[in-house]
Amino acid sequence: MAFVLVLQDDEGYCEDLTEDKEDARNVVIGYDNDTGFVYTFFISFYGQKTREISFAIFEFNAQLEKIRTILSAAEVSKMIDHKDRVAIKGHLMSCLFDMIERLKPASMFMCSVDVPLVSAAQVKYDDIVAMASHLGYGSDLTEMDNGQKFWWMERETGSKVGS
């Protein structure tokens, strides 16, 4: 596989996929010049008072009109080199920051996919929790019986998100 990164220079670029208060964003991140597959990262921030943070990489095969969803950070780390993953994570963090500031949810949560969690994914989750803390959210981490990790983040009393 020869992944070619095509992120725009503007780290704030995110495409809104919905017009209502439920957010989902999809950003083209690159393509494979051997297969012609196109890759996007998708981030969703669904819910009302409580928002679920989830993300995936989509692999689109135009010839077969087929989309494959990649949820595993371990699989992504085999497909995309470290330098490109760092750039992609910058875009993901920018999109998520924008969604949190704009929507100001009372609470939000996310759950890991890989068991055990690969180190790059752990750093991503830690960075999201740190960003939420900066925006006025407290957090709790629970490890479930199956080894998955679950993060709960709640706006602290008196906190003004984004200030």
- Residue 72 covered by a domain: yes
Residues 113, 150: Cα–Cα separation, whole Å: 10
Q: Which CATH number covers residue 81?
A: 3.40.630
Alpha-carbon span 7 to 88, nearest angstrom? 8
Is residue 46 situated within a structural domain?
yes
Q: Look up the domain containing 54 and give its range.
A: 3-155
DSSP 21-61: SSEEEEEEEEEETTT--EEEEEEEEEESSEEEEEEEEEEEE
Predicted TM-score of the model (pTM) = 0.86
What pLDDT was estimated at residue 14? 53
Question: Tens digits of per-residue pLDDT, 31-76?
Answer: 998 888 999 999 998 888 899 999 999 999 888 888 999 999 999 9
Total domain count for the chain?
1
| Beta-bridge partners for 27 | 41
Residue 76 lies in a domain: yes
Going by C-alpha positions, the residue among 125, 136, 141, 137 that lies closest to residue 53 is: 125
> Is residue 160 one of the residues assigned to a domain?
no
